[in-house]
Homo-oligomer: A and B are copies of this chain.
């Protein structure tokens, strides 16, 4: 398909191929079919989320192709497009709980601006990090979405009539950490008794959907299937990472663990687990490192949730990016590991 020119009759097909690969690249999958399954999952979970995703990825494609003229190989693999995918899905699904207001046309405008930013930031960061042989992961998405969330708040969105914005944040996201500051009792064995293990398992599954900020069993299952199509080993690493993240949450947060049950503590571990296996040739040591990476990402998440909370901002996937950048750089400094020459699938 890559042999056909963009302006030939095959162009539309190739465009779709690109965009679907972009959707799948979020979880390191370079495969249009997987992208298609995941996109269905997003629409199933919430039509607005699916629509926002499509809206942002189309804008991003034109910025990458027409304005910045990025290398064709990058665009065909969907690399500049996965950050805008997340901009769309995460903004659409977190806007209402965070700002207590419906999505207006102006919000779509902000979203479009963020999609443009994320492609530019991707190009910039990729260039900088390439000299260290590191990928930019989802940092462009994190930066662009943080900017528009703070910009929208500056413009007066989400200012509730009573000034208690900080207290009625969605419990699914950072309430446990805040509770931790207010709750007087130390962690006692008693607290641990109250962990509902069936919900914890559900949380591990939901982690995969939470990568797109979607809490839906159907979507999470479709993501799982889509990843299995591409690489069972990568899928296993991701889900193990998600499980580790969710379990770690029980150690670094306090009850009632609603966020852990919703998968919110798992998605950074999910991505972190996959990132190690995707970029490094698999070996037993790498598996241990993938576990350490998932653990580190979850600790970083616990550390930055209250910091970001001061500005009413979710943590997005900053924790995953920081942990994976550090560990991937660590791997490069040792001769016992081999970076994958051209990342495709671990098997």
Contacts and interface: CB of A to CB of B under 8 A. Distances in A.
Interface of A: 67-71, 101, 106, 113, 116-117, 120-128, 130-132, 146-148, 150-157, 159-161, 163, 165, 176-177, 180-187, 251-254, 285, 288-289, 292, 295-296, 299-300, 302-307, 310-311, 325-336
A120 B160 contact: no
Contact of A121 (B130, B160, B330): B330
Q: Lowest 10 A-B CB distances belong to which pairs? A: A123-B330, A150-B303, A124-B329, A127-B333, A124-B330, A124-B326, A69-B336, A151-B252, A154-B302, A161-B184
B117 A299 contact: yes
B185 A156 contact: yes
A182 B159 contact: yes
Nearest to A69: B336
Contact of A159 (B147, B153, B161, B181): B181
A333 B70 contact: yes
A211 to B, nearest CB: 22
Contacts of A183: 156, 159
Q: Is the interface of A mostly helix, strand, loop or mixed?
A: helix
26 contacts: A67-B289, A106-B187, A123-B329, A123-B330, A125-B326, A127-B329, A127-B330, A127-B333, A147-B300, A148-B299, A150-B304, A150-B307, A151-B299, A151-B303, A152-B252, A153-B181, A154-B254, A154-B303, A154-B305, A155-B252, A155-B302, A156-B185, A159-B185, A160-B184, A163-B182, A165-B181
Contacts of A106: 187
Contact of A253 (B116, B154, B181, B334): B154
Given A123-B329, A153-B180, A154-B176, 11 more contacts: A69-B335, A69-B336, A106-B187, A113-B299, A124-B327, A127-B329, A150-B302, A150-B307, A152-B252, A156-B183, A156-B186
A155 B288 contact: no
A330 B122 CA distance: 7
Given A253-B155, A305-B154, A68 B147 contact: no
Contact of A187 (B70, B156, B184): B156
Contact of A186 (B157, B165, B329): B157
A151 B302 contact: yes
A126 B329 CA distance: 8
Contacts of A153: 180-181, 306
Contacts of A295: 113
Contact of A330 (B68, B71, B161, B302): B68
A329 B125 contact: yes
B328 A254 contact: no
A116 B197 CA distance: 28
B154 A180 contact: yes
A181 to B, nearest CB: 6
Contacts of A336: 68-69
Contacts of A123: 329-331, 333-334
A124 B289 CA distance: 13
Contacts of A304: 150
A168 to B, nearest CB: 14
